[in-house]
Amino acid sequence: MSRRADLRLFVLRVVVVAMLATLFGRLWFLQVVGGEEYAEAASANRVREVVQPAPRGEVFDVRGTPLVRNRTALVVSVDRSAVVRQPDGGRAVLERLGTVLDRPADVLRQEIRPCGGGVQPPCWRGSPYQPVPVAEFDAGDRAGLMKVLQIEERREDFSGVTAEFAAVRDYPKRTLGAHVLGYLGPISLEEVGSPQYEGVQPSSLVGRAGVEASYDQELRGRDGVERLIVDHVGAVTGSDGETAPRAGDALVLSLDAKVQQVVEQALQRTIDRARTLRARGSGLPLVADSGSVVVMEAKTGRVVAMASYPSYDPAVFVGGASPKEYAALVDEAQGAPLVFRAIQGAYAPASTFKVISTAAAVESGDYPLDGRYPCPGVYPPTGQRNFDSAPLGVVDLRQSLVKSCDTVFYKFAYEQWQRDGGNDPVAEPRDPMVRMAQAFGLGERTGIDLPSERRGTVADRAYKQEYWEQTRENRCKGAENAALPAERRRDNREFCDDGNRFRGGDATNFAIGQGDTLVTPLQLATVYAAIANGGKLLEPHVGRALVSPDGEVREIAPRVRSTVPVSADVLGYLRDALAGVTQPGGTAAGAFAGSPVAVAGKTGTGEVANKQDTSWFASFAPVADPELVVVGMVSQGGTGGTVAAPLVREVYDGIYGPGGTGLSKALPKVVP
């Protein structure tokens, strides 16, 4: 053999050895270095986790009446990823599905698109990997079952479409308490795996509003997982063990369905009646666009009934609300029925606030409880008028509440403002009324066990400063804007110059619950509960107890947030004065003539810019040993005495009157 060939044979040997060494090295790397990782991958490959959904806990009222149950329904879902992968992009399947379900295929196509990335509704808000429910039929709906049967029989024509029995929420009392109960919605991609939704599978529904949201963790239980062994096409070849699902807890509410029924009916009737009345001043028919009633136990803060008008049917969320349905629920023009006005509507409290002004005036030490004060038609220093301009002469504090005199409170507020330095405030103003409002929990959430509660506003010095800073630039421009009328320009100029100043008028407005101070009906209920119960500011609750699947009952204890800085004498005086409001001579005397229970309360008529008055009545009863607090509010509903007071009266009649519901104290026996 030539030397050249010899050399090349040697090169070939080297190449062969190098190749074998490379293969061995790589093999060692894969199996020894990466072995564990690949073993996990192999396990993930062959094991499919199948979720066995835990039955969601049901919701009962305080008498054990079911308010939210589960029922079995056939849910038709479309697996978008499977459908769009078809050669024609799923067109044929969606056409066929549209024909069977009697819905346009284009709409189905839109509904299964994932939202986000500029996609506007209709679109799917849940996980893109989750089959999208497009139709839901009750297990007893024969026509619906026939449709589903068509899909099941022609499986090959409906590739990517599934029809499965699933537990869905059912509302035996229909729309009753809809806002409190809330609804479910699919968990979003971002929420999956977050601590709040630990253990929740991507395909699950979670609470989105009401107690469904606030007690979601307890209601949802824990899904079971079965580990199935599958082959490359996903065919099941065995099982690798399972964890059983754990049903969610049942939730017993403090809500009383019977009282709730009374309240919702009263609210509906009041709104209807208000719309036949005319507004004070303008004489136009009352709009009465919305309203709310809160019925709360005065000593515990347990909510017995809580209603918001307009309301909605929570069943629209079963199987997913269509985009059109959802839009209607939040449309302002249709009254935004989804807004829970008891905790999400904030309104000027008007004269119902005077209990706080009175307490502040007395507790500040400036004005004795037994003092007598002038109630002229007009308060000269500010030129502000009494509500109906009628002078009442010299009155005591009781009379100023019973008759709802404004000028007495103007005097207190203005003089206290002057003592704080007036337009040139001292370094640390006392602001007794602001402090008292804050002590009664205004401007803070009550902490009720419901989501998305509003704080409301206490229009104090800091608020004015902040508001001025935020709007000043615009207003200063407006001061120079020649296109505006001279009056507007002057206003803008004043605001631009010193709009942050807490003026005497701000103080007097504050004292009668006008201006920018806003409260929710529930906040006002806690204020009146504190007066009724001897000074305890309560944390309201709608949840009364949780009952685990094995029958263990966990009561949700009432909680006192704080004690208001008002002496027992003053509180007793206020209770007595408020009791006079419903008596002859009081602002709510007409509404409460012949009441089955002695009611103490306060009317309020809130003036709102560019809108009709907000009608308020905040109350508690029985006067001797207050049991309940009832607050009624009708937006654009006229005066407190003519609309809200009769509303509240109707509620008391429904509870205490002949054939009334009474109240249920004992915890019901509930079997989850």
Q: Examine residue 451 and say whether the peptide bond preceding it is cis (omega within 30 degrees of 0).
A: no
Nearest approach, Cβ of 46 to other proteins (angstroms)? Answer: 5
Among 221, 197, 175, residue whose Cα is nearest residue 314? 175
Nearest approach, Cβ of 79 to other proteins (angstroms)? Answer: 15
Rg of the chain's alpha carbons, rounded to an integer? 33
Nearer to other proteins, 47 or 51 (CB): 47
Q: Please list, in sequence order, all residues whose beta carbon lies within 8 angstroms of the beta carbon of residue 553, skipping any fewer than 6 positions away.
A: 545, 546, 547, 667
d(CA 153, CA 438): 66
Nearer to other proteins, 17 or 624 (CB): 17
Listing DSSP states for 125-186 in one string gives -S-TTSPEEEEEEETT-HHHHHHHHHHHHTGGGGTTEEEEEEEEEE-TTTTTTHHHH--EEE
d(CA 28, CA 20): 12
Nearest approach, Cβ of 17 to other proteins (angstroms)? Answer: 8
Nearer to other proteins, 229 or 392 (CB): 229
Q: Name the residue with tokens 């203005």.
A: 414
Among 631, 628, 620, 623, residue whose Cα is nearest residue 662? 628
Q: Please list, in sequence order, all residues whose beta carbon lies within 8 angstroms of the beta carbon of residue 486, skipping any fewer than 6 positions away.
A: none
Nearer to other proteins, 241 or 281 (CB): 241
Nearest approach, Cβ of 97 to other proteins (angstroms)? Answer: 25
d(CA 27, CA 36): 14
d(CA 413, CA 71): 58
Nearer to other proteins, 31 or 418 (CB): 31
Query: Cβ of 493: how many Cβ atoms within 10 Å?
Result: 15
Nearer to other proteins, 40 or 153 (CB): 40
Nearest approach, Cβ of 30 to other proteins (angstroms)? Answer: 4
Nearer to other proteins, 20 or 426 (CB): 20
d(CA 440, CA 562): 9
Nearer to other proteins, 36 or 487 (CB): 36
Residues that bind other proteins (CB under 8 A): 1-6, 8-9, 11-13, 15-16, 19-20, 22-24, 26-28, 30-32, 34-35, 37-39, 41-43, 45-46, 229-233, 237
What separation, in Å, do the N-terminal and C-terminal C-alpha atoms of the chain show?
A: 93
Q: Please list, in sequence order, all residues whose beta carbon lies within 8 angstroms of the beta carbon of residue 187, skipping any fewer than 6 positions away.
A: 126, 127, 197, 200, 202, 204, 205, 206
CB of 290 closer than 8 Å to CB of 611: no
Nearest approach, Cβ of 15 to other proteins (angstroms)? Answer: 7
Q: What is the DSSP letter of 518?
A: B
Nearest approach, Cβ of 41 to other proteins (angstroms)? Answer: 5
Nearer to other proteins, 40 or 164 (CB): 40
Nearest approach, Cβ of 557 to other proteins (angstroms)? Answer: 53
Nearest approach, Cβ of 317 to other proteins (angstroms)? Answer: 35
Half-sphere exposure of 507 (CA within 13 A, CB side): 31
Nearest approach, Cβ of 126 to other proteins (angstroms)? Answer: 23
Nearer to other proteins, 236 or 394 (CB): 236
> Which pair of tokens denotes residue 21?
């060494």
